[in-house]
Amino acid sequence: MTLITTDLLLEATGVSKTYGAVVALKSASLAVRPGEVHALLGANGAGKSTLVKILTGAVRPDGGRIAVRGRERTAHSPAEARRGGLVSVYQEPALIPDLDIRSNLRLTETPVEPFRHWLHELGLGDLDLSSMARRVPLASLRIIDLARALAIEPDVLMLDEMTAALPANLTERVLEVVASHRGGNRSIVFISHRLIEIGAVCDRATVLREGETVGIVDVTQGSEERIVELMLGEIVEHLPAVAKRTAASARTADARPRLATRHVSAGTKLQDVSFELYPGEVLGVVALEGQGQDELFDILAGSDRPDGGELLVDGRSVSFRHPADAIRAGLVYVAADRAEALLMQRSVRENIALPFTTRLARWGLIDLGGERERVDGAVARLQIDARAGNEVRRLSGGNQQKVTIARWVAGGVRTMLCFDPTRGIDIRTKNQIYVLLRDLAEAGAAVLLYTSELREVQLVCDRAIVIFGGRVVAEIEAAAADETALLRAAYNLKSDAVIPEMVVSEALAGGDGERRSDDGNGPAAVATDGEPAADAPAHPGRSPAGGATPEGER
Amino acid sequence: MTAATAPVDARLARATVILGSAVRRNIWTIALLALLVVLLLSAKVIQPRYGFIAIQGLGTSVLPLGLAAVAQAIVVIGGGIDLSIGSMMALTSVVAATAMTGQNEETGVVVVLGVLLLGLVLGGINGALVVTTRVPDIVVTLAMSFVWAGFALLVRAAPGGEAAQWLKDLAVGPLGNQWVPKAAVVMLLIVAIVWIPVARSKLGLSIYAIGSNSLAAFRSGVPVGRTRFLAYALTGLFAALAGLSLTASTGIGTPVPGPYTLESVAAVVLGGVSLAGGRGGVFGPIVAVVVLQMIRTDMTFLNIDSNLAIVAQGVILIGVLMSASLLEFRRTRR
């Protein structure tokens, strides 16, 4: 440990990247020693994925220096980075679906024998190389991706949320293989939301916050506390009027929930979600990426159907076959990705008018006068700058998001489902959206707000539920929902406790019988069936962009 | 500034803004119209005898393709394409000419209504197949183009039949002023009666919505499948109108499809409708049809080899679209 600090395998300093007005990376640095497993950590949007993409040549940086084995280099393409010894396994499988596995290997010039060796090590030795990639289950695809990367023998291998979609037995094999690299002359950069895995296999951790490297931590027992602290930064944010709000929206004991779910499940991502949303409140949903929140919102918005469980609106059981059904029941959806919600080439008027016009039962002429009145009302209420209103794509991101909200406000809101509505928009617009959501709640609407910005929970919500591994693992009142509490809950850490040694070893051992004690909420609970998730990527009737949403980083 | 003039100024400013945005929205069609005027003037310069008779002939000759272009535009705006328009025109044309043979003028009205209904059904079948089979629309409509063409030959193996006199009169000659071709008025009336109400209704907005972003439309509660089906049915209706105009202008029915399918695609593209869907209208393609016809006329007057003229037509199509996308590129970069 002490002798090898001088020659770094990979060194990146001051890496920056901006997309238009959005700063994805301000000044990130990463130093990886030979033979270490190095964790790269940060909250949603901290810039982890952008940094990995820059290091592997998928994205070009605006500034900064990258050196491999002391020699400075900037990769202009993933192929060039691979020749330089940097390989990444991304969150999305990188195999061509219509080629068989062998052809996929040939495409990337991967030697077959080492590939077979690693496949065997990873517990997938019986894979038929002539099977089509699209017929292979998602979990196996990720293993194949990993084996392919290992077979190239890169100097630095980057694993972006490698274990996210894996069942327990495969996770265990992956962690073993990762751990086996410690002490050699190659290194692994390991990105995971599961602190338990970090504690089990990593030597050091670099923490990113808002596009900057804020700390490097030696991973030892108890270093989780320090890591969480670093990810959060100083919490000196102003938290206005929390007290006033909770008093105003205290609901009566006999109030009926506007929306309730009972044991809703879907695929392998959503296990068992039950919650109640009352009129007049903003209920926060907090989760790390890929914990089932995408699937939950798709089901609530009528884009997808649950496999099990029950949905209740105003106490009546409902089942949605189409978003139109959900809209009719008063559930309207605001997406994080404006491109999924807007007709980019059409006008502000048409975009706002679309849902409530199409909701009208009759097929006759649109009452343009009445429509203009409602549209103008909504534009004024949300203070949309509609000067470039002929084509929505010419508006700024913030104004586009306001249009997606305005379309529902124009029709009158009963229940609004907001999926990270403030992602990637400026602070002023964010504040306007917070005020609007509060106003809607005061006026009696029910608002469900998934947010990747934990700060928003105390700013906007009355209480929050936390989802982990497809289950609701905590409910926190706004007053107690500071970022530390939320992040702990989101990582499914029990309050005020360092991760016990026992749990760590259990996560590594991962035997099915061993998990009885941790009531299904443990790190291995993502897939309880112990088999490779046979979830076909394409759900019938599923929106193309629904499913496994790519990491929400800019 | 006094208090009295202020609201007038404000109204004037608002009117200017509305006018400005209307011009910007329809800039493509306006530019096409300007090009058309240039082509007409150059025809007059090259051939001084070019006059109202030629204009009337122009009206009659562009009527079928103009309606076919409207048919294509509707489905393309909805994010699809229909390669069976030419065959549907042939089928409806022979059905109309055969059914009207030896019948009186009044029966002709019934036949015309029946043929329009037939067009809706043909388009509806196309749409239903596209929606239910999930086979790509380009494949479905290509296959159906053979089916409809085959049926057309079954109805009548060789050109023939008759058309009611009133129908023939609709397509030929002037209306009022000798410079106003009746065919042009008929076309504008048809489009005004059928398309404008649709465009202003829930259906029209839904067609633009699914063409622009079908996921967003789906999430907004638009019944995507039903809307696509109705767009194809409307396309079938306009294909039937185009077929009827063929029968009206020639007086007979022709079972072999003309070059209308691909020319309608060319007209739609030149008319400012995005093949990606969601953008454009039906008037641009109509003007584009006239422009394409006038290019051919001018070249004939210039004694250019007619085969070379076809080459030139393709080159012009690419050139115009290329400069348009370059302009668009520069505008978005700013």
Q: How far is B77 from chain A (nearest CA, A)?
A: 12
Mark whether A443 and A360 lie in a shared domain: yes
CA dihedral A278, A282, A287, A290 (to 10 degrees): 80
Tell which residue, A379, A448, A378, has the closest CA to residue A414.
Answer: A448
CB crowding A129-144: b at 16 or more within 10 Å, else e: eeeebeebbbbbbbbb
Q: How far is B131 from chain A (nearest CA, A)?
A: 13
Measured distance CA(A217)–CA(A224) in Å, rounded? 9
Instruction: Enumerate the residues of chain A whose CB falls inside 8 A of the CB of residue B25.
Output: 390
Mark whether A111 and A38 lie in a shared domain: yes
- When mean pLDDT is compared across A17-31, A238-252, B92-106, B318-332, the lowest value belongs to A238-252
Mark whether A228 and A248 lie in a shared domain: no
Nearest to A363 among B21, B203, B220 (CB): B203
B52-303 fold: ABC transporter involved in vitamin B12 uptake, BtuC (1.10.3470)
Query: What does each C-alpha distance from A103 to A95, A130, A132, A147 come to in angstroms?
Result: 10, 8, 9, 15
Instruction: Enumerate the residues of chain B whose CB falls inside 8 A of the CB of residue A298.
Output: none
pLDDT digits (tens, 9 = 90+) for B22-51: 777 788 888 889 999 999 999 989 888 888
Neighbour tally for B41: CB within 10 Å: 11
A540 touches chain B (CB under 8 A): no
- Closest chain A residue to the Cα of B224, Cα to Cα: A322
pLDDT band at B7 (very low <50, low <70, confident <90, very high): low
Mark whether A315 and A169 lie in a shared domain: no
Comparison of pLDDT for B259 and A193, the residue scoring more: B259
What pLDDT is recorded for position A541?
37
CATH number at residue A130: 3.40.50.300
What pLDDT is recorded for position A511?
39
Looking at residue A300, what DSSP letter applies?
Answer: H
In a domain, A536, yes or no: no
- Among B21, B27, B213, B219, the residue to mutate for chain A (most A Cβ within 10 A): B219
Question: Domain range for residue A156?
Answer: 3-235+522-526
Is the CB of residue A274 less than 8 Å from the CB of residue A299?
Answer: no
pLDDT digits (tens, 9 = 90+) for B235-244: 999 999 999 9
Measured distance CA(A313)–CA(A449) in Å, rounded? 17
What is the full DSSP assignment across B134-193? Answer: ---HHHHHHHHHHHHHHHHHHH-SSSB----HHHHHHHSSEESEEEEEHHHHHHHHHHHH
Measured distance CA(A348)–CA(A501) in Å, rounded? 56
Nearest to A363 among B201, B216, B222 (CB): B201
- Residue ranges of alpha helices (H) inside A31-154 are 48-55, 78-83, 101-107, 112-121, 138-151
For B293, phi and psi rounded to 5 degrees? -65, -40
Q: Tell me the residues of chain A between 288 and 327 that have a Cβ less than 8 Å away from chain B.
A: 301, 303, 322-324, 326-327
For B188, phi and psi rounded to 5 degrees? -65, -40
What pLDDT is recorded for position B207?
92
In a domain, A532, yes or no: no
Mark whether A169 and A270 lie in a shared domain: no
Nearest to A323 among B21, B205, B219 (CB): B219
In a domain, A500, yes or no: no
What lies within 8 Å, CB to CB, of B139 at 6+ separation is none
Comparison of pLDDT for A166 and A299, the residue scoring more: A299
Is the CB of residue A493 less than 8 Å from the CB of residue A484?
Answer: no
Is the CB of residue B79 less than 8 Å from the CB of residue B276?
Answer: yes
Nearest to A359 among B25, B215, B221 (CB): B221
In a domain, A70, yes or no: yes
Task: Please judge whether A340 and B197 are an interchain contact, meaning their C-beta atoms are less than 8 angstroms apart.
Answer: no
Indicate the domain borders of chain B: 52-303
CA atoms within 13 A on the CB side of B62: 31
Instruction: Enumerate the residues of chain A whose CB falls inside 8 A of the CB of residue B215.
Output: 340, 543-545
Mark whether A310 and A449 lie in a shared domain: yes
CA atoms within 13 A on the CB side of B109: 2
pLDDT band at B332 (very low <50, low <70, confident <90, very high): low
B200 touches chain A (CB under 8 A): yes
CA atoms within 13 A on the CB side of B173: 8
pLDDT band at A502 (very low <50, low <70, confident <90, very high): very low
Tell which residue, B173, B137, B168, B159, has the closest CA to residue B275.
Answer: B137
Instruction: Enumerate the residues of chain A whose CB falls inside 8 A of the CB of residue B24.
Output: 390
Instruction: Enumerate the residues of chain B whose CB falls inside 8 A of the CB of residue A322.
Output: 218, 221, 223
Task: Please judge whether A407 and B213 are an interchain contact, meaning their C-beta atoms are less than 8 angstroms apart.
Answer: no
- Closest chain A residue to the Cα of B219, Cα to Cα: A323
Is the CB of residue A411 less than 8 Å from the CB of residue A359?
Answer: yes
In a domain, A531, yes or no: no
What pLDDT is recorded for position A50?
86
Residue that is written with structure tokens 């422009």 in the block: B291
Mark whether A364 and A465 lie in a shared domain: yes
Instruction: Enumerate the residues of chain B whose CB falls inside 8 A of the CB of residue A326.
Output: 221
pLDDT over 60 (residue A252)? no
Q: How much of chain B exceeds pLDDT 90, in percent?
A: 50
Nearest to A364 among B201, B213, B218 (CB): B201
Mark whether A229 and A279 lie in a shared domain: no
Tell which residue, B327, B200, B255, B242, has the closest CA to residue B70.
Answer: B242
Q: Tell me the residues of chain B between 266 and 295 that have a Cβ less than 8 Å away from chain A.
A: 274, 278-279
How many domains would you assign to chain A? 2
Neighbour tally for B18: CB within 10 Å: 10
Is the CB of residue A301 less than 8 Å from the CB of residue A324?
Answer: no
User: How many residues belong to chain A?
Assistant: 554
pLDDT over 50 (residue A529)? no
Mark whether A29 and A86 lie in a shared domain: yes
pLDDT digits (tens, 9 = 90+) for B68-121: 999 999 999 999 999 999 999 999 999 999 999 988 888 899 999 999 999 999
What is the full DSSP assignment across A417-444? Answer: EEESTTTT--HHHHHHHHHHHHHHHHTT
A390 touches chain B (CB under 8 A): yes
What pLDDT is recorded for position A177?
92
Q: Tell me the residues of chain A between 361 and 380 that have a Cβ less than 8 Å away from chain B.
A: 362-366, 368
ipTM of the complex: 0.74
Q: Tell me the residues of chain A between 324 and 343 that have a Cβ less than 8 Å away from chain B.
A: 324, 326-328, 333, 335, 339-343
Mark whether A367 and A430 lie in a shared domain: yes
Is the CB of residue A468 less than 8 Å from the CB of residue A303?
Answer: no
Strand order through the sheet with A204-209: A71-72, A63-68, A10-19, A22-32, A212-218, A204-209, A37-41, A187-191, A156-160, A86-89
Q: How far is B170 from chain A (nearest CA, A)?
A: 29
| Helix H or strand E encompassing A172 | helix A168-180
Nearest to A366 among B21, B200, B216 (CB): B200
Task: Please judge whether B209 and A344 are an interchain contact, meaning their C-beta atoms are less than 8 angstroms apart.
Answer: no
Task: Please judge whether A303 and B21 are an interchain contact, meaning their C-beta atoms are less than 8 angstroms apart.
Answer: no
Query: B77: which 2 tokens?
Result: 């705006």
Mark whether A322 and A230 lie in a shared domain: no
Nearest to B220 among A354, A364, A365 (CB): A354
Query: What does each C-alpha distance from B220 to A79, A532, B225 come to in angstroms?
Result: 41, 35, 14
